[in-house]
Chain A
Amino acid sequence: MSTTVDVLYLARLREAFGTAGEALALPAATGVTVADVLALLRARGGAWAAELAEGRAIRIAVNQTMVAHDAPVRAGDEFAVLPPVTGG
Chain B
Amino acid sequence: MTVRVQTADFDVGREIAALRAGDARVGAVASFVGTVRDVNDAAAVTTLTLEHYPGMTEKALEAIVAEARQRFDILDALVVHRVGELKPTDQIVLVVVTGAHRDTAFDACRFLMDYLKTKAPFWKKEDTPDGARWVDARASDDEAAARW
Residues of A within 8 A of B (CB): 8, 10-12, 15, 57, 61, 64-65, 80, 82-88
Give the distance in Å from the alpha carbon of A8 to the alpha carbon of B51 in the complex: 14
| Contact residues in B for A12 (Cβ distance below 8 Å) | 123, 125, 134
CB <8 Å contact, A88 and B53: no
Besides A80-B56, A84-B136, A87-B124, 13 new A-B residue pairs in contact (Cβ under 8 A), listed by A number = A11-B134, A57-B137, A65-B56, A84-B137, A85-B119, A85-B120, A85-B122, A86-B123, A86-B135, A87-B116, A88-B34, A88-B92, A88-B116
15 contacts between A and B (CB under 8 A): A8-B53, A10-B121, A12-B123, A15-B134, A57-B137, A64-B53, A82-B53, A85-B119, A85-B123, A86-B135, A87-B52, A87-B121, A88-B34, A88-B117, A88-B120
CB <8 Å contact, A87 and B93: yes
Nearest-Cβ distance from residue B83 to partner chain A, whole angstroms: 9
Nearest-Cβ distance from residue B134 to partner chain A, whole angstroms: 4
Interface of A is mostly: loop
Give the distance in Å from the alpha carbon of A85 to the alpha carbon of B134 in the complex: 10
Nearest-Cβ distance from residue A86 to partner chain B, whole angstroms: 4
| Contact residues in B for A82 (Cβ distance below 8 Å) | 53, 121
| Contact residues in A for B55 (Cβ distance below 8 Å) | 64
Known: A11-B134, A64-B59. A86 touches B53 (CB 8 A): no
Q: Does chain A have a CB within 8 A of B81? A: yes
